Amino acid sequence: MIWHNNLDPFILGPWHLAGQELGVRWYSLPYIICFLSIYTALYRATVSRKIPNADMDRLEEGALLLILSIIVGGRVGYFVLNQPASLLTWQGWAEVPKVWHGGMAFFGAAFTLFVAEYFYCRKHRLGFWHASDRIMWIFAIALGFGRVANYINSELVGIPTAGGWGVIFDRLPPSEWINGINVPRHPVQLYSALTHWALGLWLLYLLRRKPRTRFDRVPGFTCFWFLGGYGLMRILTDFAREESIWIIPHVFNGGQALSLAMMLAAVVGARIRIKLLAERGQPHDWYPEDGVAATLPPECHAYLDGLQAQTPQPEPTAKRR
């Protein structure tokens, strides 16, 4: 049985205004839920002092930086990878802020997020790696729902298939048909969603498993697992994805090349990080034996506690008699 996808991409709307379709799209939900979930996780970790030197002021700034870096990095990355020539014109750059037109690149968002948050945390002596362990599994789950939204939007479609599980995307423009025919395709967006959800559950298991391995005590260990796992799953699912950028024509595409580079970076980065901790790290630089959920030693908050000790406290108001 061949399925037809003619799903409405709008939850509310669309409303037509000045030639534009405005409304609330399914694609926006994963971002909203992801941001709220990440903020909640980081808030709870900050209150319970599970992130070195974190306080509410840094949490608010870091959360805003996270949102901006994902949106800006994702949009710019999309144009760099898919429409690089457009960035040579003012009109192309004017299109970048128009997120409602669609188009986000995971690799651009991931790179911008990592760089921006790493240097922000380094500036304020925050536990970047501790914070990343709190949210990597949330990113993975949210990416899965993002792929479902891609399926609803009839974008990032798969290659043609003769299998009974094939999907005809009724809203696919004729320019993307095969020999003038809208053929059934692999629902590769759903394949990707399943792999992202599996990765998220695996990361959640790693955070809680016992007994813990030596690598489980390295702050940031789920970050390396996420990058390596995403890269591997993306390489596999992209064999069923329609692509326009090829490294080896119809064999190995651009997304797979970036995913392979991400996998290698994760493996090398993990080895370097555990080696540096073993050679230069102090006992409090590692997670306690009980892992992420354990109380961090006082040394992890020495910088924040020092700042708070230097901050003048308001004098109590004298009581009137």
Burial 256-286 (b: 16+ CB within 10 A, else e): bbbbbebbeebeeebeebbeebeeeeeeebb
Under 8 Å between Cβ of 302 and 232: no
Report DSSP state, residue 55.
-
Question: 172-177, long-range: CB within 8 Å, 24+ apart, which pairs?
Answer: 176/242
Q: Is residue 32 part of a domain?
A: no
Q: Is residue 231 part of a domain?
A: yes
Burial 124-160 (b: 16+ CB within 10 A, else e): bbbbbbbbbbbbbbbbbbbbbbbbbbbbbbbbebbee
Q: What is the average pLDDT across 134-161?
A: 95
Taking the C-alpha atoms of residue 309 and residue 58, their distance in angstroms, rounded to an integer, is 17
Q: Is residue 315 part of a domain?
A: no
Q: Is residue 245 part of a domain?
A: yes
Taking the C-alpha atoms of residue 155 and residue 24, their distance in angstroms, rounded to an integer, is 17
Which tokens belong to 28?
């926006």
Nearest Cα to Cα of residue 140 among 189, 198, 70: 198
Question: Pairing state of beta strands 246-248 and 20-25?
Answer: unpaired
Taking the C-alpha atoms of residue 185 and residue 161, their distance in angstroms, rounded to an integer, is 5
Q: Is residue 307 part of a domain?
A: no
Q: Is residue 42 part of a domain?
A: no
Q: What is the average pLDDT across 261-274?
A: 96
pLDDT in tens, 15-59: 877 777 778 889 889 999 999 999 999 999 999 999 999 999 999
Under 8 Å between Cβ of 145 and 30: yes
Residue 201 structural domain: 133-286
Residue 83 is predicted with a pLDDT of: 85
As a whole number, the mean pLDDT across the chain is 91
In this prediction the pTM is 0.90
Least confident of 83-87, 129-133, 172-176, 240-244: 83-87
Q: Identify the band that residue 99 occupies on the pLDDT scale cut at 50, 70 and 90.
A: confident
Nearest Cα to Cα of residue 307 among 98, 83, 55: 55
pLDDT at position 175 over 80 = yes
Nearest Cα to Cα of residue 217 among 261, 278, 269: 278
| pLDDT above 70 as % of the chain | 97
Which residue type sits at 269?
G
Kind and range of the H or E run holding 3: strand 3-5
Q: Is residue 188 part of a domain?
A: yes
Q: How many domains does the chain have?
A: 1
For residues 126 and 315, the model is more confident at 126
Q: Is residue 96 part of a domain?
A: no
